[in-house]
Copies of this chain bind each other. A is one copy, B any other.
Amino acid sequence: MGFAQRIPMCLLRILALGAAVTAAVVMFTSHDTAQVLNMTFEAKYTNSPTFKYFVIINAAASVYTLIVFFCPAKNTLGRFLLVSDLIVTLLLDSSVSACLAIGQVGKNGNEHAGWLPICNQVPKFCDRVTGALIAGFVASIIYFIIILLSLHNVFNIFTIKA
């Protein structure tokens, strides 16, 4: 890979790192309390295994991106990097989808299952979760672009051969 080809990849890695760190930190620090019938209800990310999974995956993706950024990619390593990038993309995609499903129930509830929406009680928490979800979504989109760029760099996927 030439130097000119490395610049967009480095930029994408920096953006992915920023988005994944933001997602993990915003979800980790999301917090709100509500008083319902003299009971204090505390909303935080540890309340749901899905939110914990989101924090873990986004933190792991941040560490991975940081390691890849500072380790120079040799040609042989570059191929395995494509596979590990693919796994990170799938994990990010999975964490965002799972959180979105839970967030949707938190916002709208589910009348069939008798699950009431909680966002009117803990609006700050819901706003933070929404922010974390957007950052996580951005991180997974950037990783998708990283894979497309890797494929293009390796075998000119978007160049029509004459």
Where the two chains meet, the residues of A that have a C-beta atom closer than 8 Å to any C-beta of B are 41-43, 47-50, 76, 79-80, 82-83, 86, 89-90, 93-102, 104-106, 110, 112-116, 118, 144, 147-148, 151, 154-155, 157, 160-161
Best-buried of A41, A48, A113 by chain B (most CB within 10 Å): A113
Q: How far does the alpha carbon of A47 sit from the alpha carbon of B93 in the complex, in Å? A: 24
A155 and B155 in contact, given A50-B101, A101-B98, A116-B114 (Cβ under 8 angstroms): yes
Verify A82–B43 contact, CB threshold 8 A: no
Q: Say how far A151's CB is from chain B's closest CB, in angstroms.
A: 7
Q: Which of B49, B104, B118, B144 contacts A50 (CB 8 A)?
A: B104
Q: Which of B76, B83, B89, B90 contacts A161 (CB 8 A)?
A: B76
Residue of B nearest to A91 (CB): B93
A76 surroundings in chain B (CB, below 8 A): 160-161
A118 surroundings in chain B (CB, below 8 A): 113-114
Q: Say how far A115's CB is from chain B's closest CB, in angstroms.
A: 4
A-B contact pairs, 11 of them (CB 8 A): A47-B112, A79-B151, A79-B157, A82-B157, A94-B94, A97-B98, A98-B100, A101-B101, A105-B105, A113-B118, A114-B115
A96 surroundings in chain B (CB, below 8 A): 94
Verify A155–B154 contact, CB threshold 8 A: yes
A90 surroundings in chain B (CB, below 8 A): 89-90, 93, 144
